Amino acid sequence: MNSFNNYLKSFFFVRLKIVVCLIILGLSPNLNAQDQEIFQKKVFVKGKDTLLYRILYPVNFSKEKTYPVLLFLHGAGERGNDNASQLTHGSALFTNPNNRILFPVIVLFPQCSLDNYWSNVEIDRSTKPISFKFQSDEAPTKSLGLVIELMDYLLQKPFVNRQQVYVMGLSMGGMGTFEILAKRPTVFAAAIPICGGGNPSTATLYAKNTALWVFHGSKDDVVNPQFSVEMVKGILDAGGNPNFTLFGDANHNSWDHAFAEQNLLGWLFSKKRKE
């Protein structure tokens, strides 16, 4: 009798595990899609040019209150015109229910067009890692120029706390992060460039005004980690005090490691712009 009871318990336990797994597998895509839809779809128009973007408002958003603003710049693989791909990496940080309560912030995810780039840079993809030559004296690219226009527009809103404006980005977006800091050196309280790069000479424009936490993977065979090393040196030489994390076991997707940093958002949103 005992063996039969044990058999029944085992049978129902296995059935329960199967049902739970099927539920998880069946619901996961819908949950992810639902999380993404929390970001509202928007289009910014400037003259004949348009910029697709997503925006996430805090829980119980009120125009009578003020909120920090975070700009997130995606990588080259998420360029396009679907106004969705830019949410592939990083958006889950801000749809996380706990983070939404702990950090009430307006989050902006613009999408770079397929034929453009966040950073004004010459690229040679015949090498590995890829060769980049940053054009620091040039005007911003069309896509980054539109982002700057959008940010200028948003920052005029009375519900924005202009002392708490932030930018972070990965890969191409890490390069765009360094570039927008140079183009708008007094806007951002803090920045998180991940596996990016830039022209170290531009660091003098923002090093003392902006807190930075730079991330890279030491095994990165797409964007050489030396670019981040050189940017950190440029920031130090310019009188800044950056955090720098070089992950010894990470390749190009060092953003996964960066997003897993326990105090990443706590550090970021604790910073306020220096006058």
In this structure, what token pair is assigned to residue 150? 């959008």
Tokens for 32?
Answer: 């992810």
Cis peptide before 129 (omega within 30 of 0): yes
Q: State which fold the 38-269 domain adopts.
A: Rossmann fold (3.40.50)
The answer to whether the CB of 265 falls within 8 A of the CB of 103 is yes
Q: Return the pLDDT at 135.
A: 86
Residue 184: its pLDDT value, please?
97
Ordered mean pLDDT values, 10 residues apiece, the chain (275 residues): 46 39 36 72 96 97 97 98 97 96 98 97 94 89 98 97 98 98 97 98 97 98 98 98 98 98 97 84
Q: What is the pLDDT of residue 143?
A: 98
DSSP codes, 168-182: EEETHHHHHHHHHHH
Q: Where are the domains of the chain?
A: 1-37, 38-269
- Give pLDDT, residue 32: 56
Say what the pLDDT of residue 8 is. 41
